[in-house]
A = this chain, B = another copy of it.
């Protein structure tokens, strides 16, 4: 080890990845696009590319088994990987599951985890084709790798957004984050007094958004039916603001969005206000909704604008302008990524 010591928190996750992978050169003609999008794009056959992506989840970092049932964890892990394939406008096909567990888990607990995985495989039409199972000296670690495919003419990258394109999101935002806040609140109540039952009543929608997020394979099918090909796309895992900035950077443009356009479900808003959180903050910075963020050229506005699955939230502008969120009074605030920095305490 060299003597210089640079703390990981100085760089953050994305800075670290850039730093570690900058010297890697692709040598393989089959590598069409490597690091830097939701999935790698690899040569397959005359008409198709293969997509490859992976995600690691650790107990105590990404989930807390105190309130996350193992069945839901399995489902969510698959769903979040499927979402990466969707973000390339592709279809998921196969997953591998690597699992590390300590002796404190009985076999029955792992069966629950795999039930959730199996259920997600069923829903998303994916096959579990391999994996690795090993022991852990501490918590549970789950890594999923996913393979999918996409027609060469259909693949969508983060980098294709053009000036004047419209910015669109699917579904609604902030629900998963508010669901997590409710779970955290009830965990604290429980820790203070284990005899008190958790009060989760009336929060079904946001709890489901947190515990059982659904990758938008339906939207990918819709694009095909509607004959719309987004100019760029990314999935919303870390939070809208963070993903907008990724998309802007990859496309060498800026994003302008309107805060009154953010699609926030009434149940998310109510919980946010109840907990003294600005609903728009939940929508902008809350992660794990696994909705899709994409851009379309203006000619597709008629097809997309009226569809209840989609909300146009802004437009793409020249890079020099900087990315902003504009409020009702026209005041523009610079967009900042408040998504997780895994290396900060």
Contact = CB atoms under 8 A, between A and B. Distances in A.
A108 B2 contact: yes
A98 B57 CA distance: 10
A333 interface: no
Interface in A1-32: 1-2, 4-11, 13, 16-17, 19-21, 23-24, 26-28, 30-31
Contacts of A26: 127, 129
A78 to B, nearest CB: 12
Interface stretch (A130-138, A250-258, A274-282): A130-138
Given A24-B128, A28-B93, A62 B134 contact: yes
Contact of A147 (B27, B114, B147): B147
B5 A54 contact: no
Interface stretch (A39-47, A154-162, A200-208, A283-291): A39-47
Given A44-B44, A128-B35, A56 B100 contact: yes
Contacts of A58: 100, 134-137, 141
Contacts of A5: 106, 108
Contacts of A94: 28, 30-31, 40, 42, 52
Contacts of A260: none
Given A40-B129, A130-B35, A103 B145 contact: no
Main secondary structure of the interface of A (DSSP, over half): mixed
Contact of A137 (B61, B101, B111, B135): B61
B62 A28 contact: no
Given A4-B106, A28-B126, A42-B147, 12 more contacts: A2-B112, A7-B107, A8-B101, A21-B128, A21-B131, A40-B94, A50-B50, A58-B137, A61-B100, A61-B136, A103-B345, A137-B139
19 contacts: A1-B70, A5-B108, A6-B108, A16-B133, A17-B133, A26-B127, A30-B149, A33-B129, A35-B131, A42-B147, A50-B147, A52-B145, A54-B143, A58-B137, A58-B141, A60-B137, A132-B143, A138-B138, A143-B143
A118 interface: yes
